[in-house]
Amino acid sequence: MMLLTFVDVVARYLFNRPIRGGFEMTELVLLVLIFAGLPLVSHADEHVTMDFIDRMLPERAVAILIRVVHALVAAVFFFLTWQVLIKAARIAGYGDTTDVLRITVGPFVYFMAAMIFLTALVHVFKVFVPGERRSIQATT
Q: What is the pLDDT of residues 74-132, one digit of tens each?
A: 999 999 999 999 999 999 999 998 888 899 999 999 999 999 999 999 999 999 987 76
* pLDDT value of position 37: 95
Please give the pLDDT value at position 10: 82
The pLDDT assigned to 55 comes to 82
pTM of the predicted model as reported, rounded to 2 decimal places: 0.83
Please tell me what DSSP assigns to residue 95: T
Whether residue 135 contacts residue 54, with contact meaning beta carbons closer than 8 Å, is answered with yes
Determine contact, residues 95/104, Cβ cutoff 8 Å.
yes
* Torsional class of 12: left (φ above 0), alpha (ψ -120 to 50), beta (otherwise): alpha
CA–CA separation, 33 vs 9, rounded Å? Answer: 21
Task: Give the pLDDT score at 133.
Answer: 56
